[in-house]
Amino acid sequence: MKKFLIGAALAALTAGSASAEEVKLQLKWVTQAQFAGYYVAQEKGFYDEEGLEVTIMPGGPDISPTQVMAGGGADVTVDWMPSALAAREKGLDLVNIAQPFKSSGMMLTCLKETGIKGPEDFKGKTLGVWFGGNEYPFLSWMATLGIPTDGSEGGVTVLKQGFNVDPLLQKQAACISTMTYNEYWQVIDAGLAPEDLVTFKYEDEGVATLEDGLYVMGDKLADPAFKAKMVKFVRASMKGWKYAEANPDEAAGIVLENDESGAQTETHQKRMMGEIAKLTAGSQGALDPADYERTVKILLGGGSDPVISKAPEGAYTLEITDEALK
């Protein structure tokens, strides 16, 4: 009888697994608390409850989410809106279906000893900037300030920054790009004190653009079955995000359990999750059209070299979140 029950249980498990709908999620970066909501949704069974089998694929310095999407390697990806809209204008039909992050965590972190007190002091300085799609918010900000980025007189010299804080520590740059939840703390951990630094948050400067949205290929949205699957995915993912917000230490632990590289530490991930929770707070997953319009306006304000040349059409849909959040 016991063997029969075990066999029946295994058969039921196999049947359930076979009927589960598969979703491949491409992350923008490596496994870390920046993506805690998805790992939490997987660990706590929220995807299982929706009948989904989700494969979470970490990103990295050699992985471009937009290229993965273009090649059909993922169903949905996490990306920043500037990168997604720039790719869209070049012909890749990326569509935002949800926006778990309400606020931007991007900022410039500067050495106080350089004399920088305000954005007007950037002129003549070397600033570290991430590329690979992450440079767009910075370039738009400089255009808004009227500061050239080609190294000409009265402008700034742009240092193509790796995904580390070495240029600041080695004083190769007066300022570097950092995230409130990651690189800023790497600077602190390296021995500099907050009073040694001056920070400029894109949110505070009024030039913040949307980060960490969920994007799919537009043509897939013509398939009712795919749309229904994305409704389930978004609903479960947002359940994961809200759980992570309410239980940051547990969420950080779940992220660590999924970090196959072993590079992350408990202290850093708990701190990161605390900061990430501030960015997802206020969002139930639906994109706020006002936030979208602000992002587009900032990206169009790039002077002679804007990130996008015209206002996009069809770059987002509220259909998925409208259904998911009922």
Q: Is the pLDDT of residue 167 over 70?
A: yes
What mean pLDDT comes out for the span 148-169?
92
Give me the CATH code for the 20-102+210-324 domain, please. Answer: 3.40.190.10
> Identity (one letter) of the amino acid at 110?
C
What mean pLDDT comes out for the span 142-164?
90
Nearest to 258 by CA among 274, 248, 269, 271: 269
Higher pLDDT residue, 144 or 1? 144
pLDDT in tens, 7-50: 444 444 444 455 899 999 999 999 999 999 999 999 999 999 99
pLDDT in tens, 225-269: 999 999 999 999 999 999 999 999 999 999 999 999 888 999 999
- Residue 295 confidence (pLDDT): 92
Assess whether the region 20-102+210-324 and the region 106-201 belong to the same CATH fold: yes
pLDDT in tens, 78-105: 999 999 999 999 999 999 999 999 999 9
| Cβ atoms < 10 Å from Cβ of 21 | 17
- Residue 11 confidence (pLDDT): 43
- Residue 249 confidence (pLDDT): 97
Cα-based distances in Å from 6 to 18, 20, 48 = 18, 21, 21
Nearest to 212 by CA among 303, 324, 83, 86: 83
- What residue spans define the domains of the chain? 20-102+210-324, 106-201
Quote the pTM value: 0.88
Nearest to 319 by CA among 238, 237, 239, 230: 230
Cα-based distances in Å from 228 to 23, 77, 198, 223, 289 = 12, 17, 47, 9, 22
Higher pLDDT residue, 133 or 281? 281
Higher pLDDT residue, 100 or 298? 100
Side-chain-side CA neighbours of residue 91 (13 Å): 2
Q: Is the pLDDT of residue 4 over 60?
A: no
pLDDT in tens, 210-220: 999 999 999 99
Q: 230: Cβ–Cβ under 8 A, 6 or more apart, which residues?
A: 75, 76, 97, 216, 320
How far apart CA 31 and CA 39 sit, in angstroms, is 9
Average pLDDT, rounded, for the chain = 91
Q: Is the pLDDT of residue 5 over 80?
A: no
Give me the CATH code for the 106-201 domain, please. Answer: 3.40.190.10
What mean pLDDT comes out for the span 161-179?
95
Q: Which pLDDT band holds residue 2 (cuts at 50, 70, 90)?
A: very low
Task: Report the percentage of the chain scoring pLDDT > 70.
Answer: 93
Q: Is the pLDDT of residue 1 over 60?
A: no
- Residue 216 confidence (pLDDT): 98
- Residue 250 confidence (pLDDT): 98
- Residue 223 confidence (pLDDT): 98
Residues in a beta bridge with 76: 25
- Residue 152 confidence (pLDDT): 84
The dihedral sign for the CA sequence 62, 272, 83, 147: negative
Show the 3-state SS of the chain: CHHHHHHHHHHHHHHHHHHCEEEEEECCCCCCHHHHHHHHHHHCCHHHHCCEEEEEECCECCECHHHHHHCCCCCEEEECHHHHHHHHHCCCCEEEEECCCCCCCEEEEEEHHHCCCCHHHHCCCEEEECCCCCCHHHHHHHHHHCCCCCCCCCCCEEEECCCCCHHHHCCCCCEEEEECCCHHHHHHHCCCCHHHEEEEECCCCCCCCCCCEEEEEHHHHHCHHHHHHHHHHHHHHHHHHHHHHHCHHHHHHHHHHHCCCCCCCHHHHHHHHHHHHHHHCCCCCCCCHHHHHHHHHHHHCCCCCCCCCCCCCCCECCHHHHHHCC
